[in-house]
Amino acid sequence: MTVPRRVPCKGIQRQPGGIRYVSTGLDKMTIEQLIENTEKDFMSRNLATPRLDAEVLLASFLKKDRTWLYTHPGQDVSAREMDGFSFWVARRQKGEPVAYIIGRKEFWSLDFAVDPRVLIPRPDTEVLVEEVIKVLGSGRASRPEILDLGTGSGAIAVALAHECPHARITATDISRKALAVSAGNAERHGVASRITFLEGNLLDPVMGKFDVIVSNPPYIDSGDYARLSAEVRNFEPREALLAGEQGMDFYSAIIPQAACRLKPGGWLLLEIGDSQKENLNRLFQQSDAYQDLAFRKDYAGRWRVVKAKIREEESG
């Protein structure tokens, strides 16, 4: 569609494939106008966080931060920039997660590269990192050995390497594509020399024993998976989410296997779903290999972490 150069701006032009921004008579629009128009469009599509999405997308597209947007609301955006930005908007309109569009996600105040090869790191998982740091602080190992199972983007392994400079970390994943992302994130944050990445299922590729084994495994059951948002189901890797009919498949494998790979006094820590506390309590009790079983909620009040210490008589 050709717009005469001196036709007043009407905001957004809807087209079958998405929206395109109609230029002003000067072929430009302000930051605030662009954000408001994008927000309105996202609201009309029932996206959960329309204003935030609009701001994050525009800031990233312009290679600025959101603070810059707030302090430059009247800054002009050229027609060329609006045209390029419209393609990002069109991707969000189809439900693609913002993190995949901009190619990154913050976790533990660190910037992680993400794409459809890996699950997008969630803030809830930060409490798992907090609990690992706590048990390391109370332990006896001056150079702890940590194993991260199903590392995905490498968020947990890299965050722990960043916080614990004396730790040595092994990270596994069954997906070679995911390992390429996690290895890149380790390089990105200068901790690659202290993380060993291994391809394989859970503990299969691992040798030796560890002071801490940590994992955020798949734990969504088939029923809950069908009820997840289309944004998650249509874009994030299914294999990083689904864990059988009851969501317990990976826990059932990890808990007994980890008991054979923990050093005396070592800890197993797992992210869990809010409804899985009782099932996990039974699973740990049945193993009889652990003690000091404890659960923790996240900051939204949902059960999020289970941890247990290996019984020393079982760890040899």
Binding-site residue ranges for S-adenosyl-L-methionine: 150-154, 173, 216
Binding residues: 150-154, 173, 216-219
Show the tokens assigned to 23.
């230029």
**H or E stretch including 71?**
helix 66-71
The amino acid that residue 71 corresponds to is T
Query: Between the CA of residue 243 and those of 102, 184, 248, what are the distances in Å?
Result: 29, 27, 6
Cα 213 to the center of its chain, rounded Å = 19
Alpha-carbon distance 150 to 250, whole Å?
10
Binding residues for substrate: 216-219
Count of CB atoms situated within 10 Å of the CB of 7: 11
Pairing of strands 262-271, 303-310: antiparallel
Backbone angles phi, psi at 292, to 5 degrees: 55, 40
**H or E stretch including 197?**
strand 195-199
Alpha-carbon distance 185 to 154, whole Å?
7
Alpha-carbon distance 173 to 36, whole Å?
41
Pairing of strands 145-149, 210-215: parallel
Show the tokens assigned to 269.
């820590």
Per the CB < 8 A criterion, the answer to whether 221 and 276 are in contact is no
